[in-house]
Amino acid sequence: MNALIKAAALCAMMTLLVSCGGNDSAQGHNSGQISAGQEASAQQKVYNWKLVTTWPKNFPGLGVAPENFAKLVDRMSNGRLKVKVYAAGEIVPALEVFSAVSNGTAEMGHGAAYYWKGKMPAAPLFTSVPFGLNAQEMNGWLYHGGGLELWRELYAPYNLVPMPAGNTGIQMGGWFNKELNTIADFKGLKMRIPGLGGEVFTRAGGTAVNMPGGEIYTSLQTGVIDAAEWVAPYNDLAFGFNNVAKYYYYPGWHEPGPTIELIINKEAYQTLPDDLVAIVESAARTINQDMLDEYTSRNNAALKMLKEKGVEIRRYPDEVWNVLRETTKAVMEENANKDEMFKKVYASYDAYRKSVNAYHQISERAYYDMRD
C-alpha cells in the first residue's frame, strides 16, 4: 500500500500541474471564479463522502480496490477528503449503484458500465466488447484515444462523471456442468453473462442472465442458471464455483479487457477544490493499474489450486469460437443501427482497435508467439 501511495502522490502532483494550465471542464470539473478567501476556505474544509459498490465487502480484487482508493485519497489529501466504502446491499443493491450516485444518495460508485445497458445501450462499450480491446488497449483508448471524453458525454445527462478505476485483464470463458463440443450445446443453457457478451450468447442459442456476483453460487447450485462467467481464477476460486460446476472454459471471448468504473456525482464533484480533483483522478488511475497488476499476479496460483481440486480446464472448440466471433459482428452492427450514441462510440472504439492491432501484430502477438 505504501508503494501505491508514493506512486499516486507523484501522479497527483503531475496531474495538478497539468490541470492548472488546462481546461477544468474537460475533466468534468468547473471551479468557476472564486476569491482568495473562498479558495482558502475550500482548502480547509473536510469532505465526507460515501462510495457504494456493486461488489461484496472486501472481495478480492474488485471489492478491495475501492477500499484502497479511499485510503489513497485520505492520505494524499491529508484527511480533507474522507471516503467511506459501502458494499453491495449495505445502502443500495448492487445493480442500483448508478441511480444512487446519479441522484446524490452517494457521491461515488464503483462498478462496471455494462450493468447500465438498460439505461444507455452504449454503456457496455466502456466495460468490454467481445473479441475487442484488451486491458492495455482499453487504457490506451480511454486515456489517449478519445474514449474518456465520449464516456463522460454519455454519462453527462445522468449528472455523473465516470473514469477508469480497475481492470481484471482477459477473463475466463465461464463455468459449465456439461461439455461444449458444438454451438448446438448452447441451446437451452441459461448463463450468467452480462453486457454485449450476453447479447451474443443469447443470439447463439442460449439465454443470458444478468445478476451480481454475490448471487451466482446459489443460482448455480439450485439450477436457476446452468452456467456462469464471473472473472478469472483469483475471484472464481474465492467464490468456490469449483464446488458447483465441473468444466472451466477459456478464453474469455466476451470480456478481453473489462474496465471497472468509478462514477462521481457531478454536482458533488464540482464542489471540490482543484487539488482534491487532481487527487481523486490520480488515485483512480493508480487503482486502475494496481487492480490489473494484482490479477496478473494472483490468477496464476489460483488456477493451479483449481486444477488440484479437480476442475477440468477446457478450451472453447473452434466451431463455437468462430460462431461467437461472427455473431459478435452482427450484434455490434445492429446496436449501432439502433442507437446513435452507440454508433458514435463504437466508431471511435473500432477505429482505435484497428489502429492498435496493426502494431500489436508485430509487437505483442509476435513476441508471445516467439516466447512460447
Q: All domains of the chain, ordered by start, with CATH?
A: 2-22+43-168+258-296 (3.40.190.170)
Q: Which residues pair with 51 in a beta bridge?
A: 85, 108
Q: Which residues pair with 123 in a beta bridge?
A: none
Q: How far is CA 345 from CA 124, 188, 201, 298, 335, in A?
A: 11, 33, 22, 33, 11
251 prior amide bond cis, ω within 30: yes
Where does residue 277 rank: exposed (0-12), middle (13-18), buried (19+ CB within 10 A)? buried
pTM exceeds 0.85 for this model: yes
CA 186 to the chain's CA centroid: 26
Q: How far is CA 119 from CA 115, 154, 298, 333, in A?
A: 9, 11, 34, 19
Secondary structure E strands in the chain: 47-53, 81-86, 108-111, 160-167, 174-176, 190-192, 207-209, 227-228, 247-250, 259-265, 312-315
pLDDT tens series, the chain, 372 aa:
555 555 555 554 444 444 443 344 334 455 445 555 556 666 789 999 999 999 999 899 999 999 999 999 999 999 999 999 999 999 999 999 999 999 999 999 999 999 999 999 999 999 999 999 999 999 999 999 999 999 999 999 999 999 999 999 999 999 999 999 999 999 999 999 999 999 999 999 999 999 999 999 999 999 999 999 999 999 999 999 999 999 999 999 999 999 999 999 999 999 999 999 999 999 999 999 999 999 999 999 999 999 999 999 999 999 999 999 999 999 999 999 999 999 999 999 999 999 999 999 999 999 999 998
Torsion sign (Cα): 89, 116, 98, 23: positive
